[in-house]
């Protein structure tokens, strides 16, 4: 005889599972983060047949799946492709000041990089297409994280 679900009792049990994890950036990511931390450089990888320069560096081409071994340094300057302001945090709580995020095309890359837009508190302070510069933390403060980049500063 098959029991109906209501005869099975509670469907959930409260509890905790203590887990810790360590994520790796992968082969391409390691190249990017090492160069960012040690030299303050933005390293991409190129796929010549596809005419793509991936930033951050990747280990394979997303279009043809070829292994990417050619590293390219990308300039810190570029143009704003899109942007948004967030007025709430991850939990939906209202922020005292909005957080501005910019999607940027850095010179030399064919992909876009998303990061903070520094010093932007209102939508009228930026325009799509404006020039930006990547601000990288001083060497003593870099830890090999995407946050070694402070963000993008509007320069025009
Ligand atoms: Zn390719």
69-125 pLDDT per residue, tens: 999 999 999 999 999 999 999 899 999 999 999 999 999 999 999 999 999 998 889
Among 13-17, 51-55, 75-79, 99-103, which is the least confidently predicted range? 13-17
pLDDT band (50, 70, 90) for residue 23: confident
pLDDT band (50, 70, 90) for residue 53: very high
From ligand 1's centre to the CA of 43, what distance in Å? Answer: 17
From ligand 1's centre to the CA of 136, what distance in Å? Answer: 29
Specify the long-range contacts of residues 92-97, CB closer than 8 Å, at least 24 apart: 97/121
| Per-residue model confidence (pLDDT) at position 150 | 98
pLDDT of 1 over the 80 cut: no
More confident residue, 13 or 86: 86
Q: Enumerate residues with CB within 5 Å of ligand 1 (an ion).
A: 47, 50, 61, 63-64, 66
More confident residue, 81 or 22: 81
From ligand 1's centre to the CA of 146, what distance in Å? Answer: 25
From ligand 1's centre to the CA of 62, what distance in Å? Answer: 7
Stated pTM of the model = 0.82
Nearest-angstrom CA–CA distance, 30 and 124: 37
From ligand 1's centre to the CA of 23, what distance in Å? Answer: 26
CB burial of residue 83 (10 Å; 0-12, 13-18, 19+): buried
Nearest-angstrom CA–CA distance, 73 and 12: 52
| Per-residue model confidence (pLDDT) at position 77 | 98
Nearest-angstrom CA–CA distance, 121 and 52: 33
From ligand 1's centre to the CA of 44, what distance in Å? Answer: 14
Q: For each of the domains in the chain, give its residue range(s) and CATH number, in order of start.
A: 26-154 (2.40.50.140)
Q: What is the 3-state secondary structure (H, E, C) of 104-121?
A: EEECCCCCCEEEEEECCC
Please give the structure tokens belonging to residue 12.
């959930």
């Amino acid at each position: 005889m098959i029991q109906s679900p209501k005869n099975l009792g509670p469907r959930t049990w409260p509890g905790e599972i203590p887990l810790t994890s360590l994520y790796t950036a992968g082969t391409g990511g390691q190249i990017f983060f090492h160069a960012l931390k040690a030299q303050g450089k933005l390293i991409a990888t190129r796929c010549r047949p596809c005419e793509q320069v991936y930033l951050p560096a990747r280990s394979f081409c997303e279009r043809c799946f070829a292994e990417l071994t050619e590293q390219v340094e990308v300039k810190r300057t570029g143009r704003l492709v899109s942007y948004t302001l967030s007025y709430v945090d991850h939990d939906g709580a209202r922020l005292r000041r909005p957080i501005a995020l910019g999607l940027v095309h850095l010179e030399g890359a064919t992909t876009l990089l998303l990061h903070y837009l520094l010093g932007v508190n209102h939508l009228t302070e930026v325009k799509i297409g404006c020039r930006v510069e990547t601000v990288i933390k001083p060497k003593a403060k870099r830890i090999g994280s995407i946050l070694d980049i402070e963000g993008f500063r509007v320069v025009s």
